[in-house]
Amino acid sequence: MTDNILPGVKSAYLIRSGMGERYLVGGQLATLIARSEDTGGLLEATIMSGGAGAEFPLHQHARSHESWYVLAGQIELHLAGKAYFLNRGDYANIPPNTVHGYRMRSHYTRVLVWMVGGDAAKLFSSLGEPYEGFVPPEGVPASILAPSKNVAESACDIKFTGDDPPSTGLFNSFETRVPPAGMAPYVLREGEGERLIAAEQLFGFLAHQGNTNGSFITLTTMGPKGDRIPDHFHEKHTETFFCLDGVMTMWANGEELQLLPGDFLHVPPNTIHSYRLDAPFTRFVGMLAPGLFEPFFRTFCDPYEAYIFPQAPKPGRFDRVIKKLAELDLKLVGPPR
Ligand SMILES: [Fe+2]
């Protein structure tokens, strides 16, 4: 597996924190960690970094479905006529044809932006220019210039509304604690989402299949230091792992890798893989595309009310998984550990 180089073909790869293909876009750094060509057209992932005041004007996409996880700092998200103040760990679901834009509010803001059905790499190369640096440049963030907006509109799936995000300073409260039904835009506070438990691992659904027309699911996995999960592979869906807290060991295609916060692993179908959580509080966020793996979690886990994993493990229902194995996109390699 090559490290820190986007492979250009659908394959398993690792991108360490801060690495990836970088563009300077209106004073912000766009770091691509997954492009369409690296994922077989399934998904793209970009980390937007910038300082207080950096903005992205209001716009919408006809086809691209965006999914946000705030990694650091604070950011105003303007979404379908409402404004939300997002902090680290907050999530946003932004379906196609939803007007949105943002303004960063802290000096070290970073947001992980997944895109499905779009052309993020083309978008950032049209809006910005290749950039050698690993952090946004010094000085006041510049705005995105009109000529580059025009280039992006003609080449990519984006339409600007012509407005900057409003600056009233008034924010909406978060309306929901779980993903609502359907393709609606919504935001979730850190820790909210539908929670499920298996053994000592807590899974938090941030987007269900129903929120994405089946194109992806997004969930967090959180737990203490534990055992290695069984080696397995999937035939139909791609799995991604973005480490948020703690330390984890991963195995993919026979290689052992240690993932630290900010590290990203792309695991396409037919890649034998496994993970183990290695620190007392370890958490990762994953986008799985397409979203067909959701029934696995409903089979393996039970509903869970609390926001932190239990001190003593709950049952993991591998018995139910084994009974339904033929219906789940899961191929176990060897016996469950
Ligand atoms: Fe998997």
Which stretch of 74-83, 158-167, 206-215, 218-227 has the lowest confidence by average pLDDT? 158-167
Residue 97 — left, alpha, or beta (φ > 0 → left; ψ -120 to 50 → alpha)? left
Residue 265 pLDDT level (bands cut at 50, 70, 90): very high
pLDDT of residue 319: 93
Task: Compute the distance between CA of residue 223 and CA of residue 226 in angstroms, rounded to an integer.
Answer: 8
- The answer to whether the beta carbons of residues 244 and 283 sit under 8 Å apart is yes
Residue 50 pLDDT level (bands cut at 50, 70, 90): very high
Which stretch of 65-74, 136-145, 257-266, 326-335 has the lowest confidence by average pLDDT? 136-145
- The answer to whether the beta carbons of residues 225 and 280 sit under 8 Å apart is yes
Q: How far is the CA of 241 from the centre of ligand 1 (A)?
A: 10
Helix (H) or strand (E) holding 35: none
Task: Compute the distance between CA of residue 189 and CA of residue 244 in angstroms, rounded to an integer.
Answer: 16
Domain regions of the chain by residue span: 19-186, 193-332
Segment 82-100 mean pLDDT: 98
Q: How far is the CA of 14 from the centre of ligand 1 (A)?
A: 16
Question: What residue type is assigned to position 91 of the chain?
Answer: Y
Q: How far is the CA of 331 from the centre of ligand 1 (A)?
A: 9
pLDDT at 44 over 60: yes
Q: How far is the CA of 293 from the centre of ligand 1 (A)?
A: 9
pLDDT of residue 144: 86
pLDDT at 133 over 80: yes
Please give the CATH topology (third level) of the domain spanning 19-186: Jelly Rolls (2.60.120)
* Strand 201-207 with 255-259, pairing: unpaired
Segment 175-180 mean pLDDT: 96
A 10 A CB-CB count for 210 gives 15
pLDDT at 131 over 70: yes
pLDDT at 99 over 80: yes
**pLDDT tens digits, 210-234:** 999 999 999 999 999 999 999 999 9
DSSP sequence for 263-318: -EEEE-TT--EEEEE-SSSEEEEEEEESSTTHHHHHHH-EE---SS--SSPPPP-H
Instruction: Name residues whose C-beta falls within 8 Å of residue 233's C-beta, 6 or more positions apart in sequence.
Output: 269, 270, 271, 272, 273, 331, 333
Q: How far is the CA of 292 from the centre of ligand 1 (A)?
A: 12
pLDDT of residue 335: 62
Q: How far is the CA of 116 from the centre of ligand 1 (A)?
A: 20
Q: Which CATH number does 193-332 carry? A: 2.60.120.10
A 10 A CB-CB count for 74 gives 18
Q: How far is the CA of 273 from the centre of ligand 1 (A)?
A: 6
Q: How far is the CA of 239 from the centre of ligand 1 (A)?
A: 6
Q: How far is the CA of 203 from the centre of ligand 1 (A)?
A: 14
Q: How far is the CA of 31 from the centre of ligand 1 (A)?
A: 25
* Strand 55-60 with 44-50, pairing: unpaired
- The answer to whether the beta carbons of residues 183 and 213 sit under 8 Å apart is yes
Q: How far is the CA of 232 from the centre of ligand 1 (A)?
A: 6
Q: How far is the CA of 90 from the centre of ligand 1 (A)?
A: 24
Question: Position of tokens 């083309």?
Answer: 122
Task: Compute the distance between CA of residue 236 and CA of residue 113 in angstroms, rounded to an integer.
Answer: 23
- The answer to whether the beta carbons of residues 266 and 240 sit under 8 Å apart is yes
- The answer to whether the beta carbons of residues 198 and 300 sit under 8 Å apart is yes
pLDDT at 120 over 90: yes
pTM recorded for the entire structure: 0.96
pLDDT of residue 334: 75
Q: How far is the CA of 138 from the centre of ligand 1 (A)?
A: 40
Topology agreement, domain 19-186 and domain 193-332: yes
